[in-house]
Structure 1
Amino acid sequence: MTGPIVVGVDGSGRSLRALIWAVHEAASRGRALRIVHVLSPAHEYAVTAEGHAGELGQRDKGVVAEATMIAEEAHPDLKVTSALPTGAPPAALLSESEHAHTLVVGTRGTGGFGSLLLGSVALQVVGHAACPVVVVNQLTTGHNRIVVGTDGSAHSDAALAYAFEQASLRGIPLQAVHAWIRPGLHAMTTGGALDEAATRHREDLAKWLAPLARRYPEVEVVKDLPEEDPMLALARASDRADLLVVGSRGRGGFRGLALGSVSHQLLQFSQCPLAVVRPHPAPRSD
């Protein structure tokens, strides 16, 4: 992945938290920061109204100017660019993702990026972005832990790779969570069948982690195999993490589904910033 760290801003408090996360991510990776504030299509008509046009233009420019100032004050050497595209937020964000290393947004806002992210826009942006998307609900630091959910799917493999990279970059441990349910969903399943299932899941997790553990030997890996619903396990783990990483969908998703049920629910229930990662598209042969 190449390109800048792109962050969507709208002047809200949650947008500010997304900006702060993006600034530190860009600085830690030595990448440029691109600040994007999307103007509503209605803005094109509003600018023709005398007086009102100037007010809208000043506010929009002010949002970008303030975000730029915050970024440059935090990291004076950081390269910062900005854009004010007009159109629907999903289309603008997806376009930006084509050239971004990471796209960062807040969970709610003043009618821009964040306020839509808990609705249909989440399925379009998080599920279809060409780069990892980090959704910042609240900033968390000091836990010194990255948490990643894994189930052996291609999306899960992409999440693992991103999580290992983040843990290595930050020099902190990685908690790999593989939640599972008893065979046949029967709570009374016991004895040999249960032991066999538990062993199989432990072996699967070790197999999924092995290639990346060899690539990042400096990363301490904590294996976590809770016997519970994946969403509940990951939401609980996010309460003790600085970043939660998941694939955009896993083994339980339907073909063509934009966003899996677990990642969709975690947009609302994660207690730390949530990174949603999709597999890299296969290279074209033409």
Structure 2
Amino acid sequence: MTDPIVVGVDGSGRSLRALTWAAHEAALHGHPLRIVHVLPSEHDQELTAEARAWWEHQRDEGVVDEATAIAKELRPGLDVTSDLPSGAPAAVLLSESEHAHTLVLGAKGTGGFASLLLGSVTVQVVGHTACPVVVVNHVTAGHRRIVVGADGSAHSEAALAYAFHEASVRDVQLRVVHASGAPALPAQVSTEPEKAAQEAAERKRMLEEWLAPLRREHPTVDVREDVVRDTPILALARASDRADLLIVGSRGRGGFHGLAIGSVSQALLQYSQCPLAVVRPRPTEATA
């Protein structure tokens, strides 16, 4: 059976945007859509009184029924299933990711259980999912461009492979951004122009080396290389303003091996101007 696109919903506006994105993604890839609304256990002691009151109110509002109807209206003929599991939201979503093609979540909610599910839980889920996870904050369309960050790490390699595949499926341009650090000061540029040029040339050579096997595998993808002297967070956040999807690895070269999500991917959960896909390598690749 084909692995589904799994989307977590809670009835908020942002989770409905995630649902819309997930429905289109499922149709694009020919995968079924699985809608999940996590109900906390009645004995969950971590819930505040406000969150529990919100949940009690929303539980009977037909969140899943509404989401299912919306998905089928958006994509007639789409195979849509749903479930109302209970438990700790992060644990439930991570379990769902083990049998999913992609896990899709909305960005942080505005209060109550929405905030619990789509805020702090998102950070927990992103760093540990068994499949790529897409966090939908702003929905964009029409740029016909995917942006991916590259730094040579195992997580970056996984992100690049995912990006080439997605660009091929969508038949859109792929912009690969390699950010080499903070911009040089004017004095440095004027006094060390040859050194700066050599460094830029070396970074471009490395980027071309990373991309070579993927170019051969996906010869029809229009790839644009962008080596910039800027911090990865700023470079990718700016690039996301002109993209329909931003893709990053869960951790880059600057991360510590004990951390599941790096500072760049965590910051982009807030600053990306388009849906953000965070990709982890297979367990055997993660130690590279």
Normalized against structure 1, the TM-score is what? 0.89
Corresponding residue to 2:197 among 190, 195, 202? 195
In the alignment, which residue of structure 1 is the partner of 2:50?
none
Corresponding residue to 1:234 among 210, 233, 236? 236
1:42 to partner: Cα distance: 3.2
Q: Give me the identity figure in percent.
A: 62
1:18 to partner: Cα distance: 0.1
Residue type of the alignment partner of 1:195: A
Work out the CA distance in 1 between the residues paired with 2:211 and 2:101.
24
In the alignment, which residue of structure 2 is the partner of 1:173?
173
Distance 1:193 1:116, change over 3 A: farther
1:58 to partner: Cα distance: 2.2
Residue type of the alignment partner of 1:141: A
Residue type of the alignment partner of 1:196: Q
Q: Deviations over 1:165-190 (max 9, x none)?
A: 11111111000000113799996262
The reply on whether 1:66 has 2:101 as its aligned counterpart is: no
1:53 to partner: Cα distance: 11
1:8 to partner: Cα distance: 0.2
Structure 1: segments with no counterpart, 5+ residues:
46-51
Residue type of the alignment partner of 1:279: P
Q: Deviations over 1:248-273 (max 9, x none)?
A: 01000011211100000000000000
- Give the SS at the match of 1:65: helix
Residue type of the alignment partner of 1:122: T
Work out the CA distance in 2 between the residues paired with 1:249 and 1:19.
26
Aligned ranges 1:33-182 → 2 under 5 Å: 33-42=33-42, 57-59=59-61, 62-109=62-109, 110-112=111-113, 115-119=116-120, 121-181=121-181
Work out the CA distance in 2 between the residues paired with 1:138 and 1:16.
12
Corresponding residue to 1:208 among 205, 210, 215? 210
In the alignment, which residue of structure 2 is the partner of 1:281?
283
Checking the alignment, whether the CA contact within 8 Å between 1:118 and 1:268 is kept in structure 2 is no
Distance 1:234 1:183, change over 3 A: closer
Distance 1:231 1:182, change over 3 A: closer
Checking the alignment, whether the CA contact within 8 Å between 1:163 and 1:174 is kept in structure 2 is yes
Q: How many residue pairs get matched?
A: 274
Residue type of the alignment partner of 1:27: A
Work out the CA distance in 1 between the residues paired with 2:261 and 2:145.
25
Q: Deviations over 1:107-146 (max 9, x none)?
A: 0225446655443x23320000000000000110001100
In the alignment, which residue of structure 2 is the partner of 1:48?
none
Work out the CA distance in 1 between the residues paired with 2:44 and 2:124.
24
Corresponding residue to 1:259 among 248, 258, 261? 261
In the alignment, which residue of structure 2 is the partner of 1:245?
247
- Give the SS at the match of 1:73: helix
Checking the alignment, whether the CA contact within 8 Å between 1:17 and 1:136 is kept in structure 2 is yes
Work out the CA distance in 1 between the residues paired with 2:84 and 2:160.
33
Residue type of the alignment partner of 1:172: V
Normalized against structure 2, the TM-score is what? 0.88
Checking the alignment, whether the CA contact within 8 Å between 2:168 and 2:221 is kept in structure 1 is yes
Distance 1:43 1:164, change over 3 A: same
- Give the SS at the match of 1:58: coil
Work out the CA distance in 1 between the residues paired with 2:7 and 2:134.
9
Residue type of the alignment partner of 1:263: S
Distance 1:192 1:103, change over 3 A: same
Work out the CA distance in 2 between the residues paired with 1:67 and 1:208.
41
Checking the alignment, whether the CA contact within 8 Å between 1:2 and 1:99 is kept in structure 2 is no
